[in-house]
Amino acid sequence: MKSFKVVLATMGAIGLVAMALPFAIAQQGPTSDSSETVARPKKKKDTAAPSAAPADSTTPPDSLPDSKDEPKIPSKFTKKDKEDVPAGAATFHSDVTTVQLDVAVLDNKGHFLPGIPREKFRVLEDNVPQKIASFSTNSDAPMTIAMVIEFSNLFQQYYSQGWYETLVASYGFVQTLQPQDYVAVIAYDLRSEILCDFTTDRGKVQEAMQRLRIPGFSEANLFDALVDTAQRMSGIEGRKAILLIASGRDTFSKLTYDKARKAVQEAGVPIYALSMLQAMRIMAEPYMGQIQYMDFLQADNEMKTFASESGGQSFFPRFFGEYPSIFQSISTALRNQYSITYQPSNQAKDGKFRKLKIELVDPQTGDALRINEKGKPVKYTVVTKAGYTAPHDVE
């Protein structure tokens, strides 16, 4: 590892001298203390002292509601409170499960293939064909994006090649967003921190990006950061995705890879993984040991798995010139999708994972659909999530 870091630092210095690209955005200094890092903990607000009522308030103090004296909302009862549930309290029970899928059909260049009719889609749940209940096509829909960025001292020391690549990718993607798109910025090293929660205010996003200057720790807890973000976004409606900008290495997460993989599947948020330092790793391979080489190979495979099983895509660029086409592919896949809903033939609420597969077929023969452009066959890929977890019975 020591030899790899030496090579990495040397090549990073050469790359920074040789590259004359402007640092108009990347070199803007922090507006606050220069020692501020991503890992600096936030100060906890003092919630013990009650807020003072306005001086001109006309509401008498005795009429203000006291939450301690109010009865519990039925949805907040726990199993221990079952005997305390008042008679006649409303309960919820769902007899029918509906599954909603966002599907993108992309050619081998990552371009969206429009105009495919409903009858040519076939939905398989655990290899059992399902009846499509609704079908629609959305174009240029707004997106909700969480940028999960690795920013640790492992490979992103100040002014190193990894630091520069991270800033180019992060700022470059933000510039491709539309004004109505919501974006959040989450950086992680020893722990993850929300630098900017979901907003359409690009000024707040730029302020958050200013903190990507000096990394705090040499750990990279990818699994914890990714799962935490995916679970937070699982309840968001509409077009949503996670853009993961990272080397793929995980060094200190509480979650194991298997648990993280399962949590990502259950959250159902597409992950678009962008791997860093591909070119530098290729040049450093002669100086790596077998364990180091396998660590990076495993990191790439993990990012591919997270992306494919969540319905996203993975990218491994070697040159900065590849970034615009990658961002265009992500935008195309998210904004132009087929929306499909169906009611599963298996309505059992057993909490088990159901595998999904979307196929394009010829409705006359049932064979795989052939798409031609200008008389030539087109290779295509159907992108959607790998499955979902069936609900449990509501108790």
Residues 300-332 have pLDDT tens digits of 999 999 999 998 999 999 999 999 999 988 888
| Across 68-79, average pLDDT | 45
The pLDDT of residue 114 is above 70: yes
Same domain, 322 and 356: no
Same domain, 160 and 285: yes
State which of 45-49, 74-78, 259-263 shows the largest mean pLDDT: 259-263
Give a yes or no: residue 170 inside a domain: yes
**Model pLDDT, residue 334:** 80
CB-count burial class (<10 Å; 0-12, 13-18, 19+) for 103 = buried
Last residue of a domain, one of 334, 355, 377: 334
pLDDT confidence bin for 192, thresholds 50/70/90: very high
Residue 15, token pair as written in the block:
């790359």
Give a yes or no: residue 83 inside a domain: no
**Model pLDDT, residue 1:** 52
The pLDDT of residue 178 is above 70: yes
- Using CA atoms in the order 205, 206, 208, 211, what is the torsion angle rounded to 10 degrees? 160
The pLDDT of residue 57 is above 60: no
Within the chain, residue ranges assigned H as helices are: 2-18, 161-176, 202-209, 222-233, 257-267, 278-284, 290-310, 323-335
Give a yes or no: residue 65 inside a domain: no
Adjacency order of strands within the sheet including 192-199: 192-199, 182-188, 143-150, 239-246, 271-275, 314-315
CA distances from 316 to 162, 169, 287 (A): 14, 12, 21
Nearest to 107 by CA among 394, 373, 366, 388: 373
Same domain, 280 and 155: yes
Give a yes or no: residue 330 inside a domain: yes
| Across 68-72, average pLDDT | 46
Same domain, 381 and 269: no
φ/ψ of residue 325, rounded to 5:
-70, -35
CB-count burial class (<10 Å; 0-12, 13-18, 19+) for 212 = buried
Give the pLDDT confidence of 267-286 residue by residue, as tens digits.
989 999 999 999 988 998 88
SS3 23: coil
The pLDDT of residue 27 is above 70: no
Give a yes or no: residue 36 inside a domain: no
Give a yes or no: residue 28 inside a domain: no
Give a yes or no: residue 40 inside a domain: no
Same domain, 285 and 203: yes
**Model pLDDT, residue 11:** 53
Same domain, 208 and 229: yes
Same domain, 303 and 199: yes
Give a yes or no: residue 116 inside a domain: yes
Helix then strand count (H, E) for the chain reads: 8, 16
**Model pLDDT, residue 29:** 37
The pLDDT of residue 176 is above 70: yes
Sign of CA pseudo-dihedral 66, 72, 75, 78: positive
Same domain, 180 and 267: yes
Last residue of a domain, one of 334, 354, 377: 334
Same domain, 275 and 324: yes
**Model pLDDT, residue 95:** 58
Distance between CA atoms of 277 and 292, rounded to whole angstroms? 14
Instruction: Report the amino acid identity of residue 52.
Output: A
Count of beta carbons in the 10 Å neighbourhood of residue 365:
8
**Model pLDDT, residue 389:** 86
**Model pLDDT, residue 12:** 52
**Model pLDDT, residue 87:** 56
How many domains are contained in the chain? 2
> Which residues form the domain of 346?
99-138+337-389
φ/ψ of residue 262, rounded to 5:
-65, -40
We report the CATH number of the domain holding residue 208 as 3.40.50.410
**Model pLDDT, residue 140:** 66
Check: CB of residue 371 under 8 Å from CB of residue 113: yes
Same domain, 114 and 129: yes
Same domain, 323 and 374: no
Average pLDDT value over all residues in the chain: 79
Distance between CA atoms of 205 and 187, rounded to whole angstroms? 13
Same domain, 237 and 315: yes
